Amino acid sequence: MNIQQIKQRFGIIGNAEGLNRAIEVAVQVAPTDLSVLIIGESGTGKEIFPQIIHHFSARKHGKYIAVNCGAIPEGTIDSELFGHEKGAFTGALADRKGYFEEADGGTIFLDEIGELPLSTQIRLLRVLEAGEFMKVGSSKVLKTDVRVVAATNLDISRAIEQGDFREDLYYRLNTVPISIMSLRRKKEDVYLLFRKFSSDFAERYRMPPIRLNAEAQKILEDYRWPGNVRQLKNITEQISVIEQERVITAEVMRRYLPADDSTHLPALYKTKDEKNFSNEREILYQVLFDMKKDITDLKKLVFDLMGNGNHPSDVKLDTQIFNTLYHKKVADPVNPESLRRVNHDTFTPEKQSNIEDTEEYIEESLSLQEKEIEFIKKALEKHRGKRKYAAEELGISERTLYRKIKEYGIN
């Protein structure tokens, strides 16, 4: 079967060199049992290539199971993939087979592999290396003979650096990589896809297909398409249903393309004071330092007023103003007792001689790990141990909170 026949068989549209190369690699690796990692942006059609691999493999008569790892809650994903024993957890009323047991002798496609929790990644690594796994709540080792094809739209190298993805699992999955081109890198295929979608929707809605004039076609091909083929298909459907005229002009086309097309945007400019935060720890540091700066600025303002001859009793340090400055950065998670508030009695005439004491404040340890543990414990206590709401309170994902609870051994 040549490439053109494969495209017809699986409904693939396009003649770009990168697309043809990806199909060739998928067909060549199919007869082997090597693991394959498919890399590409969301909406590029990554889900088609595991089907090609399965179809041309010796496992084509076995089961093919596609799993979206990002759509399964963290608490149940181990059960979904590996199964569970009766009574393993609340609601486990009977034994259940997981996808790896069901797909024995076939192929399993793990989409959005980058969303797997670290604990599940360890289980998956054992399946890839030894073909073994254990059900949740069981100590019995089971065997499985399954071909794993994975896909992701994440930068796995960055995820490894941040500790969100295991490096050994990446190299085990990435035995054969297949890179899927984004739509903006194969402009010659944009109009071909548009015509195919237009014809499909015309048949579905029983109306004449829409056509583009030369200017509209040029706009279509020059657009960046951040959502790739999925976005092109959606916009084609919108135009097909909404527009009465079947010939689409440039003006009409512009109305359907989002205005945030980065192709025509100027380069982003960052001021010297602008900061980027790669994780919540850096944000926490910045919050603490900004609070310290606010207190220092407030003290300086008071001393400047007194240095200009103002009597202490004339310095109206309103509690509400102070609180506004004090809580400027954070209202809740930071412990208000970590810094001593200014004592208004210090500014009475009787205690003017001790005015220098107003400069003193007590600062708790700025150990990042201690603060992080403290905040997590308070959030969990506030929400009675419910991780979902505690994570929302802390501004992090439930998965990240779960990882940190295990990392710090928080009960």
Q: Where residue 391 sits, what CATH number does that domain have? A: 1.10.10
Q: Output the tens digit of pLDDT for each of the chain's 411 residues.
A: 789 999 999 999 999 999 999 999 999 999 999 999 999 999 999 999 999 999 999 999 999 999 999 999 988 999 999 999 999 888 889 999 999 999 999 999 999 999 999 999 999 999 999 999 999 999 999 999 999 999 999 999 999 999 999 999 999 999 999 999 999 999 999 999 999 999 999 999 999 999 999 999 999 999 999 999 999 999 999 999 999 999 999 999 999 998 754 444 433 433 334 444 444 555 665 666 677 677 777 777 766 666 655 554 444 444 444 454 444 444 444 444 444 444 444 444 444 444 444 444 444 455 677 778 888 888 888 888 888 888 888 888 888 888 888 888 887
- Strands (E) across 73-232 are located at 107-111, 132-134, 141-143, 147-152, 176-179, 211-212
42 and 157 together in one domain? yes
* Any domain includes 273: no
* Domain boundary residue, one of 129, 153, 181: 181
* Domain boundary residue, one of 239, 264, 289: 264
What token pair was written down for 36? 């394959």
* Any domain includes 119: yes
35 and 87 together in one domain? yes
* Any domain includes 167: yes
191 and 175 together in one domain? no
Query: In terms of DSSP bridges, do strands 247-248 and 107-111 run parallel, antiparallel, or are they unpaired?
Result: unpaired
The answer to whether 100 touches 81, Cβ cutoff 8 Å, is yes
312 and 211 together in one domain? no
303 and 342 together in one domain? yes
329 and 220 together in one domain? no
Q: Where residue 221 sits, what CATH number does that domain have? A: 1.10.8.60
Total structural domains within the chain: 4
CA 233 to chain centre: 24
* Any domain includes 270: no
169 and 204 together in one domain? no
165 and 238 together in one domain? no
* Any domain includes 271: no
* Any domain includes 24: yes
35 and 169 together in one domain? yes
143 and 206 together in one domain? no
Q: What does the DSSP assignment read for 105-126?
A: TSEEEEETGGGS-HHHHHHHHH
215 and 327 together in one domain? no
Range of the domain at 403: 368-408
What token pair was written down for 135? 């059900």
Q: What is the pLDDT of residue 386?
A: 84
175 and 196 together in one domain? no
